Amino acid sequence: MKILIELPTWLGDAVMATPALENLYTAYPEAGITLVGSHVATEALMAHPRITRVVVDETKKEGFRPLNVYRTAKILGPHDIALSFRSHLYSKLLLHLTHSKKIYQYKKNTTHYSLLTTHSGQGPVHQVEKYQAFVNTVTGRHDTPGPLRLDWPARKTPRPALGINPGATYGSAKRWVPERFAETAAAFSDRYEILVFGGPGEKEIADDIERALGERGVKRVTNLAGKTTIPELCSAIGGLDLFLTGDSGPMHIAAAYRVPTVALFGPTKHEETCQWMNEKSLIVRKEMECAPCMKRTCPLKHHACMMEITPQEVVEALKELEQRNTPPMRRA
């Protein structure tokens, strides 16, 4: 038996799909699994022992996209089950062009939550639960989502490490300012190595943090922005002792490794995309009439949902996690 899975495009969404995928693998223990998706999504999940084949979706690149989708479908070939965690029209086209026996596509607003026993029917539904409900329509089971899972080995640093992830691929509205990240990190620099993370497009903000830390006399800083592969990013985050991040893909990576994490939320719905099943986590956010707006940039131009979060609040949250997770924390 062969199963084709088109992953969510974004890194964080792909990680949030892992509990549902784990239940899918359990439902079909003898199936060979093919993953197709974006570079970041496939790189993050390809280390799982059940994966037999990985195809990177490059249909957005130059050329006529429908023709690119057709060519990719022919590379993938038919499967017994083909499912997509994306609701896009091109995803529907891709699945049908594989001529797979059974086809299922995630739909954002019509997922069958009745097949998810963990949801009471009241209040917000976490994205992890939405993905699980979708997979339950495939398997016909009533599975519940467990913890997030990534299979790249965690890599510990010689000294205790505090990770800083200032970026957010979705847009600037989710970002805190570099000076505040630096001020917060400096408060822990006497006992932690500071690691700054970020993608290629976030190197400037990471450089600003590194510079601001240097101005504060902090010397043990490693700037990894734009310098890691996705497997290296997972391993580095997995080995952290503390993590400070916005609502982002790396936030969900940290949750998969149960890293003590303080997450800053502004314009996004924290109930739906907060860390899943990580007891070592705290959220810092402000209640505002205009939030969550779900916009990539602040429509009111004041960015108050993030700007009103102070370094002092974040320092206190990180210290609370330090105390909560001692003795597991390593000594300098």
Residues 239 and 194 in one domain: yes
Residues 200 and 307 in one domain: yes
Cβ proximity of 294 and 265 under 8 Å: no
pLDDT at 302: 59
Is pLDDT of 160 > 70?
yes
Residue 122 pLDDT class (50, 70, 90 cuts) = low
Over residues 273-288, the mean pLDDT reads 92
42 vs 35: CA distance, rounded Å = 7
Residues 173 and 90 in one domain: no
Is pLDDT of 328 > 50?
no
Is 274 a domain residue?
A: yes
96 vs 6: CA distance, rounded Å = 12
Identify residue 235 by its one-letter amino acid code.
Answer: S
Residues 180 and 311 in one domain: yes
pLDDT at 4: 98
Question: What percent of the chain clears pLDDT 90, i.e. is strictly above it?
Answer: 80
CA angle, residues 258, 260, 263, in degrees to nearest 5 = 105
Is pLDDT of 301 > 90?
no
pLDDT at 306: 81
Q: Prior bond to 78 cis, omega within 30?
A: no
| Neighbouring C-beta atoms of residue 245, cutoff 10 Å | 27
Question: Which residues form the domain of 48?
Answer: 2-139
- Cβ burial, residue 34 (10 Å; 0-12/13-18/19+): buried
Question: What percent of the chain clears pLDDT 70, i.e. is strictly above it?
Answer: 88
pLDDT at 211: 96
Task: Read off the DSSP letter of residue 284.
Answer: E
Residues 46 and 181 in one domain: no
User: Which range, of 44-53, 233-242, 292-301, averages the lowest pLDDT?
Assistant: 292-301
Give 24-75 as a DSSP string: HHHHSTT-EEEEEE-HHHHHHHTTSTTEEEEEE--TTSSS-HHHHHHHHHHH
Over residues 159-176, the mean pLDDT reads 77
The whole-chain average pLDDT of the chain stands at 91
Is pLDDT of 117 > 80?
no
Is 156 a domain residue?
A: no
pLDDT at 332: 47
Residue 94 three-state SS: helix
Residue 298: CATH number of its domain: 3.40.50.2000
Is pLDDT of 173 > 70?
no
Is pLDDT of 287 > 50?
yes
Starting from the edge strand earliest in sequence, which strands make up the sheet with 102-105, in order?
51-56, 32-37, 2-6, 81-84, 102-105
pLDDT at 331: 45
Is pLDDT of 303 > 70?
no
184 vs 263: CA distance, rounded Å = 13
Q: In terms of C-beta distances under 8 Å and separation of at least 24 residues, what long-range contacts does 226-231 make, across chains too?
A: 226/198, 226/199, 226/200, 226/202, 228/197, 229/43, 230/11, 230/39, 230/40, 230/43, 230/44, 231/43, 231/44, 231/47, 231/152
Over residues 305-320, the mean pLDDT reads 93
Number of domains observed in the structure of the chain: 2
Q: Give tens-digit pLDDT for 247-272.
A: 999 999 999 999 999 999 987 779 99
Is pLDDT of 171 > 60?
no
